[in-house]
Amino acid sequence: MRLQRLLFLVLCTLASSVLAEKVLVTNESPQFCTGMYSKRDWDGDIEPHIEVNLQYFKSGDDNVHSSLSVVIFEYSDMDALGVKVSDIFTHYVCSEELVAKGLCDTSELYQFIVNKNVTPKAEILTSFLTSYGDNGLRYNIPKTGYYCVACSSPLDLGKSQNEFIVQVNFQNSYGNLPAAEIPKLKFYGLLAVLYAVSLSVYLFQLFIHRSELLKLQKCLAGVLVYLTLESTFKWFLFSFLNHNQMSQLHPSADDIVFYEIWISLLSVFRTSFALSFLVLISVGYDAVYPKLIPKCRGFMVASVLTSCCYLMYGCFFIVISYFNTIFQIHAPPDSNNNSVAEVKLWVNGIVCAWSVMSCHYLAFSGLSETKKVLANSKQHTKLKLYQRLFWILVVNMLLLITTAIILMFLKISNSFTEFRSLRSLFDFCTSYLFLIVFTSVVFLFRPSHELYLLSLRDDIPEYEVSGELHAVSGGNDFEFDDLDKLESAKLIGSSCSQCGDIASKLDSSWEPHTSEHERSLPPPNYCEHEDKESVNGHRFS
């Protein structure tokens, strides 16, 4: 049974590899826009185009001849559509009243009006559908852009509004992913490769220094494995969706929906775990302290609570986003529930951003305490290590704040129509930033003999014994004029006669196991050794 399901899945994949993104345009939702790539910008096997197919039409008045107007255009050419009858009102469909006023021609009757005084950047195709099917209407994509399809059935053709359903086929050359999503296919593939290469290099270092590993380095290896698998799973998801028809007309199966939610949860857990792990590194765990001291436990408890808050609201964000997407497919554009869902998304996003900032504050606070301890104990090598970690966090914080501010302004100004340069860029920047910061931290705490020796040093000052500093005068580690040592050497020299008496007693009582071929050697004369060391009046202590 499993083999049959697997074979069926493979056949469906092969059969749907040439299908396009298909959507429905109805009288309740009369327009749809999406990004499309030209074949020159994103090569593929199919010439990119847009087709419309009238599937259902019901006139409000059966006694009146009815038609359906269709226009296909690039979003930047919106100003080239319609004529203004006043400073407030703009008519987009030619009617008999507008023909009488000379605002449109008779040949344009019941069609969308194209302003002849404006030069469009791309072709604007207008027509009206009178029969079921595609009606031979096909729009080739001349250049990469954000293309829209709008339909209208004028109310003056009947006493009530007409009902219609038009299937729009947005056929890209590469597959079935929307143009705003297709860069993610290459991006997550490249991200998986980068993580895999980093993991291979790090595992090789672990193998070389396998006898000198810290617990922190083992944890970093586990996190690196997790990130590699997560990016690989994401790449597999987008590759599968690109080769399978998943659109409004072909909704995702339950297993695909579960897989998408699971991938989103992996991303949320990755961020929350990374925040706690960042605080753990900043307080000096394993590199400065062999275990968490009471002063550092407060930072860790606060970071864990903040990370759990991020995890909880991140899950809420995923659930709200999923149901909001499902609702937008079937709801009209002017629905109030859509704005309510956006407010909920903004609230959850603000809470998640606050959690990230709080964990960074805890990391900076813990790092400041660690640097103070290292400075007081004169552990300069470790201090340089954590100083580099400090600058990495500073750069990361500045980039996060800059990205959030720019993203907020773009969202408020509704500037995401340039899907290639803006939306994809800011979808990827957080993942790129996470990769750079994590690999930098891994490089700082990579397995090495020097870091292993530094971790063996105590966290108290090097010369601190019972609260007193016995630092050698002059900063030297050896002094010839140490009178205390010279005096102790004299005492040893004066007691050599006693050493000789003790040695003679030991010699008389010593009975080694000797054979006829062995001779027993007498014990050394320590006084003679002392006299040899005292030649020319030089004595070393």
Asked whether residue 380 falls in the same domain as residue 492, the answer is: no
233 and 258: one domain?
yes
**Cα–Cα dist 239/233, whole Å:** 10
Residues in the chain: 541
Q: Structurally, how many domains does the chain consist of?
A: 3
Q: Give helix 424-444 / helix 254-282 axis angle, nearest 10°.
A: 40
End-to-end alpha carbon distance in the chain: 86
d(CA 303, CA 283): 11
Exposure on the CB side of residue 435, measured as CA atoms within 13 A: 20
pLDDT at residue 127, rounded to an integer:
86
Q: Which value, to the nearest 10 degrees, does the dihedral of the CA atoms of residues 231, 236, 239, 241 take? A: -110
Do 249 and 376 lie in a common domain?
A: yes
Using only the alpha carbons of the chain, give its radius of gyration.
39
pLDDT of residue 379: 85
Residue 345 and residue 198 share a domain = yes
Q: What's residue 474's pLDDT? A: 43
Q: Which of 144, 171, 198 is the last residue of a domain?
A: 171
340 within 8 A of 331, measured Cβ to Cβ: no
Q: Would residue 468 count as lying in a domain?
A: no
56 and 75 part of one domain: yes
Distance between CA atoms of residues 251 and 489, nearest Å:
92
Beta bridge partners of 23: 168
- What was the pLDDT predicted at 457? 64
Q: Is position 38 within any domain?
A: yes
Same-domain check for residues 430 and 371: yes
Residue whose entry in the numeric block shows the structure tokens 């009947």: 158
**Residue-level pLDDT at 246:** 53
**Considering the domain boundaries, does residue 345 fall inside one?**
yes
Helix (H/G/I), strand (E/B), else coil: 43: coil
Within a domain: 357: yes
The phi, psi pair for 239, rounded to 5°, reads -65, -40
According to the model, what pLDDT value does residue 150 have?
A: 92
Res 467: pLDDT: 37
Same domain, 262 and 375: yes
Q: How high is the pLDDT of residue 109?
A: 81
Q: What is the pLDDT of residue 483?
A: 39
**pLDDT score at 206:** 92
- Does residue 516 form part of some domain? no
Q: How many CB atoms lie within 10 A of CB 195?
A: 22
How far is residue 398 from each of residues 272, 279, 282, 359, 403, measured CA to CA in Å?
A: 19, 18, 18, 15, 9
Burial code of 360-383, b = ≥16 C-beta within 10 A, e = fewer? bebbebbbeebbebbeebebeebb
Same domain, 321 and 416: yes
Q: How far apart are CA 426 and CA 411, in angstroms?
A: 11
139 shares its domain with 188: no
Q: Is residue 470 part of a domain?
A: no
Instruction: Mark whether 188 and 154 lie in a shared domain.
Output: no
Q: Phi/psi at 359 (nearest 5 deg)?
A: -65, -35
Q: 179 is written with which tokens?
A: 């143009």
Asked if residue 308 and residue 447 are part of one domain, the reply reads yes
The segments of the chain whose pLDDT lies below 70 read: 1-20, 60-66, 154-160, 245-254, 322-341, 411-427, 457-541
Distance CA(20)–CA(368), nearest Å, equals: 55
| Residue 385 located in a structural domain | yes
Same domain for 243 and 150, yes or no, is: no
> How confident is the model over 271-318, as pLDDT tens digits?
888 888 999 998 888 888 877 777 778 888 888 888 888 888 878 877
Range of the domain at 492: 484-501+525-535
Q: Is residue 472 part of a domain?
A: no
Predicted pLDDT at 516: 41
What whole-number distance in Å separates Cα of residue 244 and Cα of residue 359? 40
Q: Can you give the CATH number for the domain in which 98 is found?
A: 2.60.120
